[in-house]
Structure 1
Amino acid sequence: MDALNYLRSLGGVARTATLLRAGATKREVAALAGLGTRPARGIVALPGCNPDYLFALVHNGVLTCGSAATSHGLWIREAPPRRHLAVAHSRVTAFTAHRILRFPTHDVLPIASIEDTVLHALNCLPLSEAVSMAESAIRAGKVHRALLEDMVHAPRSARARHALSLVTAAAESQPEVEARLLFVARGWRVEAQARIPGVGRVDLLIEGLVIVEIDGHAFHADRAAFVEDRRRQNEALRQGYPTLRYPPEVVWRDPDRLLRDVEELLRSWGRLPFRP
Structure 2
Amino acid sequence: MNAETTHLLATQRFIDLGERPDLRRTVEHLSRHNLLVKVLPNIWSTPELAARADVRAAAVQQRHRDAVLIGDTAAWLVLDGPAPAVIEVSVSGHLRPQQGFRFSEKQVPVEDIVVLHGLRVHSPAGTAVDLAARDNGAAIDNALRLGRAQLEGLHRVMGSIRGRRGNRRRREILADSRDEPWSAAERVAHRLLRESQLTGWVTNRPILTSTGRYLADLVFSVARLIVEIDGYATHGTRNAFESDRERQNALVLDGWRVLRFTWRTLTSQPDVFLAQIRHALAN
2:228 matched residue in structure 1: 212
Relative distance call for 1:83 and 1:47 in structure 2 (3 A) is: closer
**Code of the aligned partner of 2:279:** S
Q: Aligned pairs, how many?
A: 240
Structure 2 unaligned regions, length at least 5: none
More strand by share: 2
Using the size of structure 2 for normalisation, the TM-score is: 0.61
Equivalent residue in structure 1 for 2:108, among 101, 107, 111: 101
1:113-262, aligned counterparts within 5 Å? 113-114=122-123, 116-122=126-132, 124-136=133-145, 139-140=147-148, 146-154=152-160, 155-156=162-163, 157=167, 159-164=169-174, 166=177, 176-188=182-194, 189=199, 190-196=201-207, 198=209, 200-205=213-218, 209-214=225-230, 215=235, 217=237, 218-219=239-240, 228-229=246-247, 231-235=249-253, 238-239=255-256, 241-244=257-260, 251=263, 255-257=266-268, 259=270, 261-262=272-273
1:37 is aligned to 2:37: yes
- Whether the 8 Å contact between 1:213 and 1:245 is mirrored in structure 2 is yes
Structure 1 unaligned regions, length at least 5: 272-276
1:274 matched residue in structure 2: none
**Code of the aligned partner of 1:43:** I
What secondary structure is seen at the aligned counterpart in 2 of 1:38? strand
Q: Give the structure, 1 or 2, with the largest relative contact order (CA under 8 Å, sep 6 or more).
A: 1
**Code of the aligned partner of 1:121:** L
Question: Structure 1, residues 11-55: CA drift from partner, whole Å, max 9, x if none?
Answer: xx46444xx3xxxx4445764662412254212121122454549
CA RMSD of aligned residues (A): 4.5
Percent identical among aligned pairs is 13
Deviates more, 1:88-97 or 1:39-48: 88-97
Using the size of structure 1 for normalisation, the TM-score is: 0.62
Distance (Å, rounded) in 2 between the aligned partners of 1:269 and 1:107: 47
